[in-house]
Structure 1
Amino acid sequence: MPTYAYRCRECSESFDLMRPMSESGAPAACPDGHADTVKLLTTVALTGAAAGAPAPAAGGCCGGGCCG
């Protein structure tokens, strides 16, 4: 289940919630009970390690040298 990061606009606290992707846009109250929150954009690093294989060292446009 994915984890989503939120920030409360009332108390400025940041918090994370694990919830299904189908509920990613649903409102989330902060731990102090405030309802005025905003979902934060986060980045996720993806590697081949999750599939049991190392990430390729080169390839694609920028990794393969075809860009320039």
Structure 2
Amino acid sequence: MPRYEYRCRSCGDTFELSRPMAESAAPATCPAGHEDSVKLLSTVAVAGTAPAPTQGAGGGCCGGGCCG
């Protein structure tokens, strides 16, 4: 289940809730009990291991050949 981050407009507390995507925009009550909150835009960092591009293997930024 996705986690969403919210900020309470009354006390300024930032908190997270796990809820279905269909309920992401529904009102959220902060841990202090205030009901006036706003959903924050969260960024997600994804790290992985991908092989480094090989020189001279073609491809390039536009399929090879035109970026010389």
Q: Which structure 1 segments of 5+ residues have no match?
A: 59-63
Which has the larger helix fraction? Answer: 1
Which is greater in Rg?
2
TM-score by length of 2: 0.69
TM-score by length of 1: 0.69
The number of residue pairs the alignment matches comes to 57
Runs of 4+ in structure 1 off by over 2 angstroms are 54-58
In the TM superposition, residue 44 of structure 1 has moved relative to its aligned partner by 1.2
In percent, how many aligned pairs have the same letter? 61
Q: Which structure 2 segments of 5+ residues have no match?
A: 54-59
**RMSD between superposed Cα atoms in Å:** 2.0
SS in 2 for 1:44: coil
